[in-house]
C-alpha cells in the first residue's frame, strides 16, 4: 500500500513475489549476520512506535528486540496510553506520530483502523495483525519454511496444509504461500472455512496468485487432502477477539481436526509441524506433536524476530531516496556547529 508517497506493509498482496522473497531472504541474511556476532546498525537513530489494541507476547518482544539489535529504539503505546480512535481521530494520530517517530506498527482489532492510520501517516506503517490478516506472521512463517525445505525441493514444490478454523492466520498463510507458487490446502469443517470467515475477501486474491504464480488452493473437509503435506500448520479453534463458542461446542466441531500423530502420518516423510502460538495443548494439537522433532513452532516463534528485523530494514531503507545527500548533511552539520560556536554553546 502506498499513501503520502510512502510504502506501507499492510498486506503482502501489495508486494510482488520478488519483493516478498527479497524481504524473506533479507531477514534471513540479517539473522545470519547477528548469529555470527555482527549486529548491523541499520536502524541507528530510528524510533518505532508500537500501537497495541490487544495484548501480545511474540509481536511486542520481537519488535522491541529487533529495534534494539539494529541500533534503534521502540516505544510501547498500549491500550489507553494514546488517543487513537478516542478523543483524537485515527487520522490526526497518524499525522502527529509522523512528526515524532520514524516507523509505526499497529496490532488492531479492526483492519480498517490500520488502513486509515497508513493513509494519514507520512512514515511507514506496519500491520502487526488485524481481524483480516497477519502479514508479519506470514514473513516469519516463510522464513521458517525456507530454512526447512525438504531435501531437493523448491518452495513451489511444497504442499502446506492448514488444519482447523479459518483464522486470519489461515488466510494470511494461504495468500503468501500461493504468492510464492506453493500448494495450499485448508482442511477444516464446513461453516468454518475461509469463505465463511471475516477474511473471505482474500479468496479472490488467492485465485489471482494461483493464476499468476502457478500455486494451487483447496478448501475442504476431506481428510485425504492432508496426504502428501510437507508442512502441517494449525491455530487455536476460536477467534482471538472473542470466544464465539463454548469449549464443549469447539471440541464437538473441531475435535476431528486435532493435529496428532495420526494426522501427521498423512504427510510426507519428514513432514514438519507449524503453529503461530499461543497453543491450547490438548485441543488443536497434542503435546506429542508440539514437542516432537517434527515441530518447528519454537523456531517459528524465533523467526518472528527474524521477520521484524527484515521488514523494518526493508521499509526504512526503501524510503532512503528521499533522505539528504552526504553533502547536504555536511552543510547542515557545519551550519549547526557555527551557530553554537557563535553563541558560545559547548
Which residues are annotated as catalytic?
Answer: 107, 134, 137, 235, 276, 304
Task: Give yes or no for a contact between 27 and 307, defined as CB atoms under 8 angstroms apart.
Answer: yes
Task: Give yes or no for a contact between 70 and 313, defined as CB atoms under 8 angstroms apart.
Answer: yes
Grid-cell match 496428532, residue found:
260
Q: Where are the alpha helices (DSSP H) in the chain?
A: 17-35, 58-69, 90-100, 111-120, 135-147, 168-179, 202-213, 247-254, 261-264, 287-290, 297-318, 326-342
Nearest to 167 by CA among 190, 205, 133, 207: 133
Whole-angstrom Cα Rg for the chain: 22
Q: Coil, helix or strand for 2?
A: strand
Residues belonging to the chain = 346
Tell me which H or E stretch contains 75: strand 73-77
Give the list of residues 6+ apart from residue 220 with CB closer than 8 angstroms, or none: 185, 186, 187, 193
Main-chain phi, psi angles of 120, to 5 degrees: -95, -15
Tell me which H or E stretch contains 199: none
Amino acid at each position: 500500500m502506498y499513501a503520502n508517497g510512502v510504502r506501507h506493509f499492510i498486506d503482502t498482496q501489495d508486494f510482488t513475489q520478488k519483493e516478498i522473497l527479497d524481504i524473506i531472504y533479507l531477514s534471513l541474511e540479517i539473522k545470519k549476520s547477528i548469529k555470527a556476532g555482527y549486529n548491523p546498525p541499520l536502524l541507528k537513530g530510528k524510533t518505532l512506535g508500537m500501537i497495541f489494541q490487544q495484548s501480545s507476547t511474540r509481536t511486542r518482544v520481537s519488535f522491541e528486540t529487533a529495534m534494539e539489535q539494529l541500533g534503534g529504539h521502540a516505544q510501547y503505546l498500549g491500550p489507553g496510553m494514546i488517543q487513537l480512535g478516542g478523543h483524537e481521530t485515527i487520522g490526526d494520530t497518524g499525522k502527529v506520530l509522523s512528526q515524532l517517530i520514524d516507523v509505526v506498527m499497529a496490532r488492531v482489532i479492526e483492519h480498517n483502523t490500520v488502513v486509515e492510520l497508513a493513509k494519514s501517516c507520512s512514515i511507514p506503517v506496519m500491520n502487526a495483525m488485524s481481524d483480516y490478516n497477519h502479514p508479519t506472521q506470514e514473513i516469519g512463517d516463510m522464513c521458517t519454511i525456507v530454512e526447512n525445505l525438504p531435501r531437493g525441493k523448491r518452495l513451489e514444490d511444497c504442499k502446506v496444509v492448514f488444519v482447523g478454523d479459518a483464522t486470519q492466520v489461515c488466510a494470511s498463510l494461504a495468500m503468501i504461500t500461493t504468492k510464492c507458487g506453493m500448494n495450499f490446502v485448508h482442511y477444516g469443517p464446513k461453516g468454518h472455512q475461509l469463505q465463511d470467515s471475516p477474511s473471505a475477501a482474500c479468496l479472490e486474491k488467492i485465485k489471482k496468485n494461483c493464476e499468476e504464480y502457478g500455486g494451487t488452493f483447496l478448501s475442504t473437509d476431506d481428510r485425504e487432502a492432508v496426504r502428501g503435506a510437507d508442512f502441517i500448520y494449525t491455530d487455536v479453534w476460536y477467534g482471538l477477539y472473542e470466544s464465539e463458542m463454548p469449549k464443549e461446542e469447539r471440541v464437538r466441531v473441531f475435535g476431528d481436526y486435532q493435529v496428532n500423530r495420526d494426522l501427521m502420518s498423512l504427510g510426507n516423510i519428514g513432514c514438519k509441524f507449524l503453529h503461530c502460538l499461543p497453543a491450547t495443548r490438548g485441543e488443536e494439537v497434542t503435546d506429542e506433536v508440539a514437542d516432537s522433532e517434527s515441530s518447528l513452532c519454537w523456531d517459528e516463534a524465533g523467526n518472528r524476530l527474524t521477520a521484524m528485523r527484515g521488514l523494518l530494514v526493508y521499509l526504512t531503507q526503501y524510503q532512503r531516496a528521499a533522505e539528504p545527500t552526504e553533502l547536504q548533511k555536511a552543510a547542515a552539520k557545519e551550519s549547526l556547529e557555527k551557530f553554537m560556536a557563535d553563541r558560545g554553546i559547548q
